[in-house]
Amino acid sequence: MAMAMASTISLCFVTLFALHSSFFVLTVSRTSDSQEFVVELDHSNYTHFVSKLDFLIVSFYTLGCGHCKKLAPEYEKAANILSKHNPPLALAKINIANEANEGLAGSDGSISIKIVREGGKNVQEYKGPYDADGIVKYVKRQYGPASVEIETLEDAQIFLSDNKIAIVGIFPQFSGGKFENYTILAKKLRPTEEFFHTSDAKLLPRGESSVTGPLMRVFKPFDELYVDTQDFDVNALEKFVEKSIVPTVTIMDGDQRNQRLVDNFMYNSNSKVMLFINFNSEIAASFKYKYRELAELYKGDSLSFLMADIDVSSHSIKQYGIKDDQIPFIILLSDKTKYLKSNVEPDELSPWLKKYKNGELEPYIKSEPIPEHNDEPVKVVVAHTFQDIVFNSRKNVLLEFYAPSHKDCKELASVFEDLAISYQRDPDVIIAKFDIFANDLLHDFEIWTLPTVYFKSADGNISPYTGYATKEDFRDFIEKNRFKIADEHLDMKDEL
């Protein structure tokens, strides 16, 4: 079992949306088919291969990753289909367990998928589906033009369905600075958004049909259904899109038709306000009315609002340590700070948020009790002791982020125990574990899957562990990366 790397998504969002989001990591490994269509690349052939292509999808994987094994057949199937495209489109894979591959396509050593364009000059994150048909459809769209022209009513009916977000530029002619800026935006945001352009607004559904532009219109299946802007500064256009594609109140109810909007809420840069209630309760209607009223009041105030049904958000409830008798509850995430109120009533929503705006709320930190006796070989780290043990101890610390009930964490437990026993006589090394669901993670460790292991050397360097989960491999990694405090003392004596 190889340890999985951290993703670029912060823990609080991973735990909140992991069970409902379509955002899963896709990587690839070897299949049983005699012919493989996914191209294996590494540091020795990457540059030569990529330099010949204008477009390539690259997956960074490890052999022991569960997601990699599960999703590999879909990736291979998609590669087979895309190899028959005119022209053929390639899907590739790179094993990130090989440290020499780090940095290829901008990789930081994390499991991920990249869209590589222009012979490697332009790299973007893959943000499409992960079933074979979805991959094929998404890749074909990414290969095509960043913005597609709408020339007929039939085009508009095909491209602008009522249940999706679409961005359309209206221009009297497809040239000039404003059209160029719109094209720049389309190229930048194309991994997540669909862009179109037309010279005839009469072809478009809804809105004023007599406009000639230049104008950008965002169609959406919520709130006011479409919004327009005529500010064609690229940064202004990007901010307008980011703001427009998030509803006043995002609903998380398990309906896959809402999943795209939940994803938009997750990636939005605003602080997040999330209300968790039972949608079938007698007070649900009152909550929905009051919460919508609150969201309207603070709209445009760097806050985004989500309402989640507890029946589809049990993962979140577990993450925040909420018991059944504490629901409904509301939580606000601002940067790395969290504020929470349980047993909230509809009329308490507005006063609570006003206290936050006035700086009158105390941050919420979930932590297990500090152990009275922490003398087992594997030391227990909790939120309240994290800083002292991991950062202030001047020790080399190998730290496992885990969940006690997780299958892979259970398998790793005996390995970690044996490893810790082997270091019991070494005063400079700590083998420790941190229950990710029982404690808040207040530091910059990003967790995508469990277990995840990091190493903090005594001189402060932090390294993710991506090798195999054996005692020998862990020990080799520690010895390679540890800072020897005794050597530091000798150096000081030499200087004296």
Q: Is the pLDDT of residue 447 over 70?
A: yes
Query: Looking at residues 100-105, what average pLDDT do you find?
Result: 90
Which residue, chain included where needed, has tokens 């800072």?
Answer: 483
Residue 274 has pLDDT above 90, yes or no: yes
The residue type of 183 is T
> What is residue 262's predicted lDDT score, i.e. its pLDDT?
92
In whole angstroms, what is the distance from residue 221 CA to residue 241 CA? 14
Torsion from C-alpha of 182, 301, 11, 64, nearest 10 degrees:
-10
Distance (Å) of CA 128 to CA 138, 150, 166, 403, 406: 6, 23, 16, 29, 28
Scan for tokens 């893959």, then name that residue: 126
The structure tokens 């125990």 sit at 417
Mean pLDDT of 164-170: 95
- pLDDT of residue 364 exceeding 80: yes
Cβ atoms of 209 and 202 within 8 Å: the answer is yes
The pLDDT of residue 230 is above 70: yes
Look at residue 254 in the predicted model and tell me its pLDDT.
87
pLDDT score recorded for residue 14: 36
Higher pLDDT: 207 or 59? It is: 59
Lowest-pLDDT range of 134-138, 187-191, 253-257, 477-481 = 253-257
3-class secondary structure, 429: strand
pLDDT bucket at 7, cuts 50 / 70 / 90? very low
369, burial (CB in 10 Å: exposed 0-12, middle 13-18, buried 19+)? exposed
> Is the pLDDT at 34 greater than 70, yes or no?
no
Return phi, psi of residue 4, to 5°.
-85, 150
pLDDT of residue 264: 92
pLDDT attached to residue 312: 87
Distance CA(397)–CA(153), nearest Å, equals 63
Taking the C-alpha atoms of residue 464 and residue 141, their distance in angstroms, rounded to an integer, is 34
pLDDT score for 111: 84
In degrees and rounded to multiples of 5, residue 269 shows phi and psi of -80, -10
Total length of the chain: 496
Q: What is the pLDDT of residue 395?
A: 95
pLDDT at 420 over 70: yes
pLDDT at site 314: 76
Looking only at the bridges linking them, the beta strands covering 215-219 and 195-198 are unpaired
Instruction: Give the 3-state secondary structure of residue 57.
Output: strand
Residue 33, token pair as written in the block: 């088919």
> 3-class DSSP state for residue 376?
coil
Q: Is it the case that residue 46 has pLDDT exceeding 80?
A: yes
CB neighbours of residue 300 within 10 Å: 7
**Between 371 and 314, whose confidence is greater?**
371
In the predicted structure, residue 157 carries a pLDDT above the cut 80 = yes
CB 438 within 8 A of CB 368: yes
pLDDT the model gives residue 260: 87
Helix ranges (DSSP H) in 205-348? 234-244, 259-267, 284-297, 314-319
Query: Per DSSP, what are the bridge partners of residue 123?
Result: 116
pLDDT of residue 206: 83
pLDDT for residue 10: 36
Containing H/E element for 79? helix 66-82
* Phi-psi domain of 105 (left: phi exceeds 0; alpha: psi -120 through 50; beta: other): left
The overall pTM is greater than 0.85: no
* Residue 472 confidence (pLDDT) above 60: yes
Label residue 29 by pLDDT band (50, 70, 90). Answer: very low
Cα atoms found within 13 Å of the Cα of residue 223, Cβ hemisphere only = 20
* 48-100 confidence digits (pLDDT tens): 999 999 999 999 998 878 788 888 999 999 999 999 999 999 999 999 888 89
pLDDT band at 486 (very low <50, low <70, confident <90, very high): low
Torsions phi, psi for 185 (to 5 deg): -60, -45
pLDDT for res 303? 95
Report in angstroms the alpha-carbon separations of 44 from 40, 51, 98, 323: 11, 13, 12, 53
Q: Is the pLDDT of residue 299 over 80?
A: yes
φ, ψ of residue 61 to 5 degrees: the values are -140, 170
Strands 195-198 and 166-170: parallel
Query: What is the per-residue pLDDT for 3?
Result: 52
φ and ψ at 479, to 5 degrees?
-65, -30
- Please enumerate in sequence order all residues whose Cβ is within 8 A of that of 427, keeping only pairs 6 or more positions apart, or say none: none
Residue 433 CA to residue 403 CA, distance in Å, equals 10
Would the pLDDT of 495 be above 80? no
> Among 31, 205, 33, 191, which residue's Cα sits nearest to residue 124?
191
Question: Does position 489 have pLDDT exceeding 60, yes or no?
Answer: no
pLDDT at 453: 96
% residues pLDDT > 70 (the chain): 91
Two structure tokens written together for 212: 């000639």
* Amino acid 190: pLDDT: 95
Taking 50 as the threshold, does the pLDDT of residue 493 lie above it? no
Which pair of tokens denotes residue 135? 């991959």
Per-residue buried b or exposed e for 70-103, using 16+ beta carbons within 10 Å of the residue's own CB: ebbebbbbbbbbbeeeeeebbbbbbbbbeeebee
The percent of residues in the chain predicted with pLDDT above 90, rounded, is: 70
